[in-house]
Chain A
């Protein structure tokens, strides 16, 4: 497993699994399977579908991650928004068949303002701030 190019703005995790893309796709898109490796959810494999992931609540946070399906191409690409505490990002899974199985790539990027009304992302206005964050942090050194 590798995590190339870790930056403050995106997280990439890649791993090859010795299973066909069809099987991975089921694990990524069937509610009960998704819960077993990721989190409780009410996911539906349909573009525009809004859903939530639920983690155990912690102090100051209810553990709810607000999502919306952005792109879905069976056995190839799945992308959804991922919003928690007013900070949004996009999670994209890409499946590539290999000689011995499937390469699964997860990229979480675009950390910034979360548009979901429930979190009032526009009011929080993270977008500009995250854009500048790198510069501010670079100034620490």
Chain B
């Protein structure tokens, strides 16, 4: 697994974090307050989750007045999709090795 996919998996491994990301992906930009209203956890917790998502580059933010607005970066999910696609290459390589093994085995 690539390092990109790995950090992505870890960022998305928390259900609350994933829910925040999904909501941003579906409904567009939201303020920290709006996110907190729906997240079911305290604002400090929401901020912690947003920081983790930001570190994985799954969200970007901008300040406007007193409010920070967050926006999803769904393109950051690409390594995850690639990782599943990588399994195709993985199994093809393994099948090649299986072919070699079958040649070496007794009938």
Contact = CB atoms under 8 A, between A and B. Distances in A.
Binding partners A and B:
yes
Interface of A: 1, 3, 6, 8-9, 11, 13, 15, 17, 19, 23-24, 26-27, 33, 36-38, 58-61, 84-87, 104, 106, 108, 111, 123-125, 129, 132-133, 136-137, 139-140
Q: Is the interface of A mostly helix, strand, loop or mixed?
A: mixed
20 contacts: A8-B81, A8-B85, A13-B91, A17-B98, A23-B105, A27-B101, A33-B101, A37-B98, A58-B6, A61-B1, A85-B9, A86-B13, A104-B98, A108-B87, A108-B91, A132-B22, A133-B77, A137-B77, A139-B25, A140-B77
Closest 4 CB pairs of A and B: A37-B97, A13-B91, A37-B98, A11-B87
Contacts of A26: 105
A139 B26 CA distance: 10
B88 interface: yes
B88 A19 contact: no
A133 B81 contact: yes
A23 B97 CA distance: 15
Contacts of A136: 22, 25, 74, 77
Given A15-B95, A58-B6, 18 more contacts: A1-B92, A3-B92, A6-B85, A6-B88, A11-B84, A13-B92, A13-B95, A17-B102, A23-B107, A24-B98, A26-B105, A33-B101, A37-B100, A87-B9, A106-B91, A125-B18, A129-B12, A136-B22
